[in-house]
Structure formats: C-alpha cells, structure tokens
Amino acid sequence: MYNEAQKNDYLGYAHNKKRAKELFEKLAKKEEELNKDICMMNLDEIMECLLSMSTVYNAIIAKVDIGSYLEWCVIKDIIVGNCILSLTNMTIKSTYFREKEEFYISKEYYDDLILKLTQSPYGVYWTSFVMAMYEGISGDNFDNLIHLRLRDIDRKTNTIKLCNGATESVSTSLTTMLVQTSQISEITVNFRKKLVSSLYADSVWNFSMTDITEKKAKDTFGRWLRIMRDVFEEPRITKYSIERSGYFNIKLDQLFDGGMTKEELVDMCYSEKAKINSRYSEFFEDGDDNAGVKVDSMRKFIYSYRSFLNQI
C-alpha cells in the first residue's frame, strides 16, 4: 500500500477493513505514479482511479470507500475538505460508459461460446451458468443463481422466480438447461468429480465440496469465469460483459420486432439529446441493471450500441 502507515491507521477505523485494504492495494499503482496519496488527489485524478475499476458498480463502491477514507482524513486534519462529496453516482456512470470501451459479445460469438461449452466436460453445468448471465437473471454477486431452486422454474410459462421475489421471462433453452443442470450428479474433467452438496434439497446447483456455503458457491462461480477466460483465451469475458451484451442483443431484437428501423436506431443513439420516439419508450423503463446499480436503461443500450459499432 502507498503511504502504508496512514492507511493502516485508517484500517483500524474502517467499517469494512477487508474491502478498504483491497481498494488501497488497487490504488497503489496510481498513487505511486502521481507520487501522492488518494486523499491528496484532485477530483479529476480520483475519477481516473474510479475508471480503472472493472465495472461501473465497482467504481461506485470504490467512490463510497474513498469517500469514507477522505472523511477520516478531514477529521484527522490531514486534508481540509472531502472533494469526492461533489461527485454523484450519475456522473460516475455517464463518465464510465463514455470513457470505457465495452467488450461486445455478438450473437454469433455467443452461439459459438454456448456450443463449445455444451461440448466441454462441464456440458450443461457451465452452459446454463453463462446463459443465465446472458439473459440477465444471475443477480448481484450471483445471488439469484445461488438460491435458485427447481420449484422456482416454470417450464410451461418459461418464467423464473428469483430470490428477490421478482419473476422474469427467459428462453425455453435456459429453463431446459437449468432443469438438466439440477440432475447432474458428477462431472469428469481430468478425473471423475461427484457433486455431493447443495444449499437446498431442490437446488439447481450441486457442488463437489461437502460443506457448501453461500460464500463458497459465489467463489466457485467466480472461479468458473476465470477458467473460461483461459480456455477461450479471451480476458474480456466477464460477468459484466456477458450480461451487458445479452441485454443489448435481446433489447435490439425487441426494438426491431417493435417496428424500429436501422435509421431510427442510429438517430436515437447518435442524436445530441439521445431521445427516443415515445412509441419505443416501453422498452426503456428504468430498472436495476445486472451489475446491481440503478441506471437509465436507454443510456445503457446506447453505450452498448456504440461499442457494438466500434467492434464490428
């Protein structure tokens, strides 16, 4: 950590010591580059630090943690004021999406990814995991997947009741895959691995460890993504990129099915005020995005569309 003695003093005060320490370790490179502690940086320099985070959600969490540290520095008379208080979440989101290049997963790339996953030793076990992210039901920190039970899946209506109480419509393929996943009792990769425990008697996900917990399940899902990046030699495959690409591709089909033309799409995404015709407003209601942050869904679609055009 940069300025370690001061940071350690703060960690004795911090509400979430582990998260604060992890943040300080991430910031150390930028602090060394500028030769100053984060508390001495101006707002533009702090924004650069926030843009280095892997997702907009992580950037907003980092803003909260940096703000707590700066407030402590004010109390200790290390700095005069907490400049981050003037930085709104909306400013972070708009700047993040404007400055950061998103990795766009096209429908063709996604179909190829799913085909390779189904043919892998993990089969439907991993395939349903990726499909759930792509169709937007995985939840923050995989909460919805971890608590998903067979009783929550309605194959007649192709809907899934999530642990937060919401009911989402999904594809027939996903409901089928999830049911098949629940029936898997062992996996053979380099050796046969029995799946012996789950959080509930009717859980969709079964695990090889005997003492499965919610945290261990989350860690397992995160490890799967890291392995996938290595297998497919694509470091930009993340939960965020899968979810945002799925959101964009599904929304794009809805817009075209609703009568939008390509010309109207381009005008919507590149007009100065980016206002959509009222006949399409039903497709762009505000809601929680898959990263867990309340965002304007139309803005999210527009930035995804620009990333899509940049990559094709």
Residue 285 pLDDT greater than 70, yes or no: no
DSSP string, 157-200: TTEEE-TTS-EEE--HHHHHHHHHHHT--EEESSSEEE--B-SS
Q: At what angle do helices 172-182 and 124-134 cross, to 10 degrees?
A: 140
- Residue among 249, 256, 248 at smallest CA distance from 280: 256
> What is the Cα–Cα distance from 83 to 302, expressed in whole angstroms?
30
- Residue among 304, 259, 303, 264 at smallest CA distance from 282: 259
Look at residue 190 in the predicted model and tell me its pLDDT.
62
Share the mean pLDDT of the chain: 83
Residues 6+ apart with CB under 8 A from 170: 135, 137, 158, 159, 160
Q: Note the pLDDT tens digit of each residue in 128-187.
A: 999 999 998 998 788 899 999 999 999 999 999 998 888 999 999 999 999 999 888 777
Decide which of 126 and 240 is more confident: 126
Q: Which residues pair with 294 in a beta bridge?
A: 288
Extract the tokens encoding 265.
């799409």
Look at residue 271 in the predicted model and tell me its pLDDT.
62
| Rounded average pLDDT over 277-290 | 56
Could you state, in order of their start, the residue ranges of all structural domains in the chain?
A: 4-99, 107-231, 245-311
In this structure, are residues 131 and 173 in contact, taking their beta carbons and an 8 Å threshold?
A: yes
Q: What is the pTM of this model?
A: 0.65
Instruction: Compute the residue count for the chain.
Output: 312
Q: 211 pLDDT band (50/70/90 cuts)?
A: confident
**In angstroms, how far is CA 179 from the centroid of its own chain?**
24
Q: Note the pLDDT tens digit of each residue in 109-125.
A: 899 989 988 887 778 88
Element (H, E) at 194: strand 192-194
> What is the Cα–Cα distance from 44 to 162, expressed in whole angstroms?
39
Extract the tokens encoding 276.
């959509």
In this structure, are residues 301 and 251 in contact, taking their beta carbons and an 8 Å threshold?
A: yes
Return the SS3 of 198.
coil
**Within 13 A of 64's CA, how many CA atoms are on the CB side?**
10
DSSP string, 109-129: HHHHHHHHHHHSTTTHHHHHH
Look at residue 248 in the predicted model and tell me its pLDDT.
85
CB-based burial label for 28 (10 Å; 0-12, 13-18, 19+)? middle
Q: Note the pLDDT tens digit of each residue in 226-270.
A: 888 887 888 778 887 888 888 888 888 888 888 888 787 777 776
Q: Which of 56-70, 87-101, 156-170, 297-311 has the lowest mean pLDDT?
A: 297-311
Residues 6+ apart with CB under 8 A from 135: 168, 170, 171, 174, 246, 250
> What is the Cα–Cα distance from 25 to 5, expressed in whole angstroms?
14
